[in-house]
């Protein structure tokens, strides 16, 4: 692409660094900004810079937060004996939306993935083991996605905390509510039969 303006070219190049945004999309977005009031671009730039410079990660759970200790960790009504291990803030938001979990979270910041060059030491695993060591934790719930990387990460952490004799669980795999049985893949269906639950407990939610 040949641009008639260096300023436009720079803006397009920077925008197209973002994942899933190519040069054409970047140009469309940048031209949209030019048609909008200047204040809107200022607000966007400011918001991005403020976020990037001032955002903190909770010192306990590693979730994104504006303060040292995030709202969830600071809430005395939450059960600090149960810790749900998740990949990132989006999973915390998704689980919080269900209102079905009253414990604390531990955000790993990713999954073990040798193919992407992410090993256990790139993740926030040591502080989790420390928490378990300290003796306040009664149960660890693994809530990583059910992929090769997720399962590897679960297993790695499990091995580290095994000796401390606490309960560990993973979120249930099974058929989504509303899904047709016949279109479900066989691994999920097989697991959902092996891990069947008492009928009365299925009436709860």
Chain contacts with a copy of itself (rule: CB under 8 A): 1-8, 10-11, 13-15, 17-21, 25, 27-34, 38, 40-55, 63-66, 70-72, 88-90, 92-93, 96-97
Q: Which is nearer to a copy of itself, 40 or 147 (CB)?
A: 40
- Report, in Å, the least distance between residue 144 CB and a copy of itself: 17
Q: At what angle do helices 6-15 and 23-35 cross, to 10 degrees?
A: 120
- Report, in Å, the least distance between residue 74 CB and a copy of itself: 11
Q: Which is nearer to a copy of itself, 53 or 201 (CB)?
A: 53
Q: Which is nearer to a copy of itself, 132 or 143 (CB)?
A: 143
- What is the DSSP track for 115-162? GGTB-GGGSS-HHHHHHHHHT---EEEE---SSHHHHHHHHHHHHHHG
| Residue whose C-alpha is closest to residue 80's, from 131, 123, 129, 125 | 131
Q: Which is nearer to a copy of itself, 14 or 79 (CB)?
A: 14
The rounded Cα 25 to chain-centroid distance in angstroms is: 27
């Amino acid at each position: 692409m040949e641009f008639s303006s260096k300023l436009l070219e720079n803006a397009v190049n920077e925008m197209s660094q973002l994942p899933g945004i190519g040069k054409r999309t970047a140009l469309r977005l940048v031209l949209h900004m030019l048609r909008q009031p200047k204040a809107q671009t200022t607000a966007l730039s400011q918001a991005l810079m403020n976020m990037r410079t001032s955002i903190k990660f909770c010192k306990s759970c590693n979730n994104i937060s504006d303060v040292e200790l995030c709202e969830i960790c600071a809430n005395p009504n939450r059960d600090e004996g149960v810790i749900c291990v998740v990949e990132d803030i989006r999973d915390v938001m998704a689980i919080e939306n269900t209102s079905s979990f009253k414990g604390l979270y531990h955000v790993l910041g990713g999954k073990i993935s040798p193919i992407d060059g992410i090993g256990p030491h790139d993740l926030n695993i040591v502080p989790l083991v420390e928490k378990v060591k300290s003796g306040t934790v009664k149960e660890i719930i693994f809530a990583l996605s059910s992929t090769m990387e997720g399962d590897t990460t679960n297993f790695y952490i499990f091995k580290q905390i095994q000796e401390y004799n606490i309960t560990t669980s993973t979120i249930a795999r099974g058929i989504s509510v509303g899904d047709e049985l016949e279109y479900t893949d066989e691994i999920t269906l097989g697991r959902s039969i092996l891990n069947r639950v008492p009928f009365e407990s299925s009436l709860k939610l």
